[in-house]
Amino acid sequence: MNFLTFILLLFYFLTKCSSYDYDVLFFKQKVDHFTYTNTDFFLQRYFINSKYFDPKNGTIFFYTGNEGYIEMFANNTGFMWENAALFNALIVFAEHRYYGLSLPYGNESYKDNKHLGYLTTEQALADFANLIAHIKQSAPGARDAPVVVFGGSYGGMLAAWIRMKYPHLVDGAVASSAPILQFDGLVDCAKFSEIVTKDFSMVDNQCALSIKKSWKVIRSFAASGTGLKFLTETFKLCESLVPSKVDDLINWLSSTWSYLAMTDYPYATKFLHPLPAYPIAETCKYLTDSDVSSKELITNIYKAASVFQNYTGDVLCYNLSTSGGSYLGEKGWDYQACTEMVMPVCQNGVTDMFEPVPWNFSSYSDSCWQKWKVKPDLKKAVIIYGGKNITASSNIIFSNGKLDPWYSGGVLKSLSDTLIAIQIENAAHHLDLRASNPSDPQSVKKARRIILSWIAKWISRP
């Protein structure tokens, strides 16, 4: 199957799985917005719905796409869809360059730095800005329509940053679970892992203790050939585990527990993977006793991890190179984390349930060079976007759920009359942007009301 055939089949499958109605369009973007040495172009994919748009008194709701297929975010940001009619809004979901089908160089986009080096936040924000300008120029009645941008997680960071960098195009931003402070020297790198641990401990302390104990047990099994075989078979790995890949298994499990904390929603979802309501509680059903035998503990860890990785039972074997789901662009994000999105996270094994892994920028940098032949720029994001010094900006809401590990890097206190922080009890990763559900906690309902009141202020015209 050639690349074009693959893309067409994937496009057909994704559009058939949509939860909402939208037109799929493509916009011609420059690969490089900031120099005149590269004249290449690519087609950026975006979704648009004009059902609720009033050309005489309308608004533009614009989602700044994350590190993945834009379908995943269009289908899981029900807040925009549910409130579009209230603001006569034109709905737009824009895909991030180098993710989904918006690949500047097709199947060679990840070939080398010559092709991949244009995967930056600055270029992505310029894409979004140019697309907004195009829509305002081309959609009837959109020229003077106020623009409100939305984003969750990395998309939330982009939503905040585009308001800061392009305030003439964007009237306000809803930045949900946006860890814009998760950079060097701004927050404690251990807090992320501590929040994950707290989420598990609140369900059952034995659950967190079992996970904490499992790391040494895994290392012990991995010290022998028979132990490696046991781990391979127990975890149903697609490839036999070898000593050099044991860290991959450890990292895969660590990511699984972190993703569970991020997606601990009060109802069943299909965001990263199909999951039951309160998936951590479901996971911890398998980890009620940390004092079982070593083999039983590993078997229980496998069952617990499978709640996130294979709740439907459809996965035949586990690939340790992916943990967050097929729609998430983990490869591209790894490159971004090795260039300008250097967001320190560490573990100490004392205040958290993970293996001790201190933050070591030197080894981190060496790893990036080995994988991508790039050296990470530790200070770049803070220099470009301001870190904690963003009070010159305005009209941004920073909402953060307290169950979300990325809460640690969020803006948790209002910085001015128009830079508003909302802390949401009993809420995981950007729960406030999801569609309303009878199981939503009152804290989320309240946060949404606050967000709507601010949007009304932003779009009001004299």
Please identify every residue annotated as catalytic: 153, 404, 429
Residues 6+ apart with CB under 8 A from 294: 217, 220, 221
